Amino acid sequence: MMDKGKQPNVATYTAVIEGFVLWEETTAEEKGKEFVEVMMGKGFVPNAKAMMKVLKGRPKLVIRRVMNIVLSKLKS
């Protein structure tokens, strides 16, 4: 998608990152961070504030883990 010059909307990329969080494997969070890093390498910049709106109503643990994945890459 991004290779064709199209940017994902907030609901799409939030759902993908949430999928990594819900994936019951020990390396899932690390793979989620790698995914965000690849996307950012292609010019993508996640919007944490917009993601929080999409995540509203989800369990706090899910929200925390999703934001941890994204924010860890924004800080580095």
pLDDT tens track for 38-54: 988 888 888 889 999 99
Q: pTM of the entire structure?
A: 0.82
Give the residues of the chain that fall short of pLDDT 70.
1-2, 75-76
The domain spans of the chain are 2-75
Report the pLDDT value the prediction gives residue 2, as an integer from 0 to 100.
66
pLDDT value at residue 46: 86
Q: Residue 1: its pLDDT value, please?
A: 65
Burial class (CB in 10 A: 0-12, 13-18, 19+), 72: middle
